[in-house]
Structure 1
């Protein structure tokens, strides 16, 4: 009986002990190996004083140790509080202060960053380093594992215990910790297995960061079915293609920009990709020219998933990708698909009244895979989950067959290269520069990134700062990938009678590629 994520580990170790759970470079790790090492880590952390629902933070790119840390939490009932490795030190401090982990497990490449911020994190009792020499103030990961008991920790989670605490930015610019339970994540694993048609013989390739839900959810779905995961530390197009061929990957997961980078490789038409039957993409619709090119080369392999850290899910299936079909078929390529089984979707107005087909409003979803709520934020939880529905904050409409179309985002979210960037967060970072009097951030279409961040700025009287200087400054306040790609300087920003910035007019004036201000 699969009631918690730990049951998936135990089930696979019992049924498929010698089958490959992970391929990581030249390493092959069996389900028995994964279970044994996760048990050792769970036991070692228990001996350090951790108990059920204590937080374990993980700062790392995709590594086997990351997956072992997940496994320890799955088995013992600790909460895995993931951290985006791209974040700037002030952002890291905020998240690690809000989640109050007792342990931080980090990859050695981040040791210098962790050392700089550890003085602001008195609640962290134990630092654990892997992938290099541990600094004197941290434990070596393998040394810690050696202290564990092969039987694991003497505790187990309950189905409604929190498993994941994953931070996602909100409209105020302050990240919110999304609490996800074992029960909810088993539901999402089942949804992944159903929508992607996962079977035990599949080999799933993952290069998107596992601190995000996308790659993590797919990994859970694959291991629920007992299949193998080909895990990459990061995204290098040539290595991704080589692995698809070498490991006979059947399914891969990429943002559209990654698909483009792989299809641009000169050897793409010469290699054998016959084993690959599905390319799952997310974060944004696939540009039609890229889709046509991919379908011509690879056949009907593309499938789109839409969801968020909080839950929900729609799918645009492989057979629904028809770039040369009817006008309706082509239009639906711009949709985010139809509701997955056991997912309800409706569109409502500001009063919560359901809207008819074709009329845009807020997208609401209802499913067993929803989050439990936001960590330390009951007001946001109540607002998001009222009336039994998750209020996404996204605006969209349904057509007569239930295809869902995004038309805008209440949260002013920008999707650039598969990463969610919130305009308010970038605005607040830029506003701290002494030369900035007023600023607003919008997304502009970009051929490669899908969307790029553009800031429209008003300088204070007599003050000057260049575009490049402001972009560099922004990198000191927030993660580099969130910084503006371009900055337009203007005399004033358009405003509504209420005094709020009119972003509709702002996008009309400055939302086209190449637009310049004063």
Structure 2
């Protein structure tokens, strides 16, 4: 029998307490979907409570770190919810990590538990001896009889006695490890109060504030369910990354449903079929890396006379990388939904966005890649702390004033750098540079840490990449700086050509001389059959740079 919802310790809402109230109110509504199976809210809550019972029996409690070393699937949100229930701290772990990288994350997080996929077991077995804080390992999938003696089978853990509901705090934490593109991954520490703050824009369409009590969360979920306007989010991007992970928390906090694809490698045909089968309303994705295959799948289906049913789809939400205007246009040509290209990071969401809808497209409205409207809590500051004047052409760093994470785990120096005091208050300034146009919108230049210094000039890779991707001959690309005796660094592009393209270096460079200043045009272009990207669609600059170095000998 389910125990009643319990008040919070400090009067600040905790996500687990909100979700328990939602489960009590709309228990028959779908919460999770994967592989043709739906889990309703009552079952979602029960399984998480039983997993929490296993965690509690192994000594986990307030502040215990729970590493999630998982692919997308229902186990990810269930294990995360269970960690919240014990007042633990879920910590995402990239499923590509091996050896030292995996050990580093578990040691840095002080992980007391790990929930891992059975296909990743060899990696966990190899490093668990170097992680003395580990008390519990839960194995997902595979043959239960092959579970090692140092682990617990997931379904066994999910069949334990449910943990009774407890008081919790809005100050409990959620760890979001960065991708480590500029060094070792860092855990951004979000408390539940500020996580709820990131959801402000998602509650606005329902004309209700972000809930501040379990009762308010339950009431909002009931009203949304009765109106039939619940969010059904398909996580095309991995839940281990903020692109799907943060919106996923919001979807559940509305009493909505999270859906995941069965394939571990992105399959656009599977995505569109699931949109139809599960009446998906929102897809979370990562720019062109997902958008181009999605367009190609729609084109194929239309050409073969079997168009997908997209009637339920209201929103495509992209974040993490630039999303080119031609790909957005192609998607809207198939279905007149709304596309939100969100600018944010692990250190802050809602910094800026570009929104374009099917109706705007019909009215002839065009958007430019990398042009964004600032969020209500966002400004652009120069390095000396002045706010950039619109239309001045001056470059500045994008700064978010609210909501803000606590900081980086175990890294006070980087915390002070990324969350400095400017103009008398604390801001999140991850390092993205932009100019502010006369009408108030911004043009994103790119991340300062990736900036290429060539002949005394600064070149942002993203600007060159977007110019290349506007060309019909280019499917995908990365731009990096390579050490050069003459220029300091030479702007270098790694390019995947479009099918049947015969373009060479000279043709591409000539095509770029109009859109780009001469010093931004790549000095060298290396062609590849397929560009490598990380699982969340982001650029793998380390791979691109090493490929160029190897090509140069």
TM-score, normalization by structure 2: 0.73
CA distance in 2, matches of 1:413, 1:164: 28
The Cα shift of 1:211 comes to 1.1
Counterpart position of 1:226: 255
Counterpart position of 1:157: 168
Task: Map 1:239-388 onto structure 2 (within 5 A).
Answer: 239-255=270-286, 256-265=288-297, 266-268=300-302, 270-313=307-350, 314-319=352-357, 330=366, 332-340=367-375, 343-358=376-391, 359-387=393-421, 388=426
| 8 Å Cα contact 2:319/2:341 also seen in 1 | yes
The Cα shift of 1:89 comes to 2.2
| 8 Å Cα contact 1:187/1:369 also seen in 2 | yes
CA gap of 1:513–1:93, structure 2 versus 1, over 3 A, is same
| Correspondence for 2:141 among 116, 127, 131 | 131
CA distance in 1, matches of 2:109, 2:332: 44
Counterpart position of 2:442: 404
Counterpart position of 1:118: 128
SS in 2 for 1:307: strand
1:87 aligns with 2:97: yes
1:54 aligns with 2:64: yes
SS in 2 for 1:362: strand
The Cα shift of 1:377 comes to 0.5
- Once the two structures are superposed, residues 248-300 of structure 1 have per-residue CA deviations (whole angstroms, 9 ceiling, x without a partner) of 22221222221211221211462222222221222233323222222222124
| 8 Å Cα contact 1:178/1:309 also seen in 2 | yes
CA gap of 1:120–1:48, structure 2 versus 1, over 3 A, is same
The Cα shift of 1:194 comes to 3.4
| 8 Å Cα contact 1:40/1:151 also seen in 2 | no
The worse-fitting range, judged by mean Cα deviation, of 382-391 and 198-207 is 198-207
The Cα shift of 1:391 comes to 1.5
CA distance in 2, matches of 1:281, 1:253: 6
Counterpart position of 2:541: none
CA distance in 1, matches of 2:518, 2:205: 39
Structure 2: any 5+ residue segments left out of the alignment? 1-6, 209-223, 454-459, 486-493, 497-516, 528-547
| 8 Å Cα contact 2:402/2:427 also seen in 1 | no
| 8 Å Cα contact 1:364/1:389 also seen in 2 | no
| 8 Å Cα contact 2:373/2:441 also seen in 1 | yes
Structure 1: any 5+ residue segments left out of the alignment? 415-422, 424-440, 460-483, 487-503
Count of residue correspondences: 444
- Once the two structures are superposed, residues 477-511 of structure 1 have per-residue CA deviations (whole angstroms, 9 ceiling, x without a partner) of xxxxxxx889xxxxxxxxxxxxxxxxx99965546
CA distance in 2, matches of 1:130, 1:143: 10
The Cα shift of 1:410 comes to 1.0
- Once the two structures are superposed, residues 96-149 of structure 1 have per-residue CA deviations (whole angstroms, 9 ceiling, x without a partner) of 111110111101010011112223222222221111132233221222333333
SS in 1 for 2:438: coil
CA distance in 1, matches of 2:271, 2:236: 8
The Cα shift of 1:322 comes to 5.7
| 8 Å Cα contact 2:30/2:40 also seen in 1 | yes
